[in-house]
Amino acid sequence: MAAEIERKFLVNGDSWRKLAQGSRYVQGYISTAKQATVRVRIVKDQGYLTIKGGTVQYTRSEFEYPIPVEDAQEMLDTLCDRPLIEKMRYRIEYGNLIWEIDEFDGVNKGLIIAEVELSDEKQLIELPIWIGAEVSDNPKYFNSNLVKHPFTQW
């Protein structure tokens, strides 16, 4: 089984911006049931279909498959809940880890979250200076929940 171990944090300031360039992501959710979410995503010219299980502490099952970008666009247009999630994702190497910073657009504009994937839930991590409060345990920051309750409506 594929597992994703991930921690999420709010981002402080703008000092992180000079460290990386971003890629535009557009994603939508076909299903956001508690036990599993089904997501469609387009990054550059590649589509992806992802199925994620429920989260227990920092871990959940994750299965991601590349699909033709035309299929992904059709699914986004016809099968996904609205609004779609729009964001720029920046990747920053810090210490021995890769941090992914999502700067949301659209109805989630103003929200910036940093995520880091770990190999073990107890793995120690060195936090960059631009990392703020941890929100790993707060489901309102899950992308699938930002569809139902966008950041600009909090």
Kindly list the catalytic residues. Answer: 29
Q: ∠100-120-114 over CA atoms, to 5°?
A: 20
Residues 146, 79, 72, 97, Cα dihedral to 10°:
20
Tokens of 85: 């999630």
Tokens of 31: 């299903």
* Buried b / exposed e along 21-60 (16+ C-beta atoms within 10 A): eeeebbbbbeebeeeebbbbbbeeeebbbbbbbebeebbb
How far is it, in rounded angstroms, from Cα 31 to Cα 21?
Answer: 31
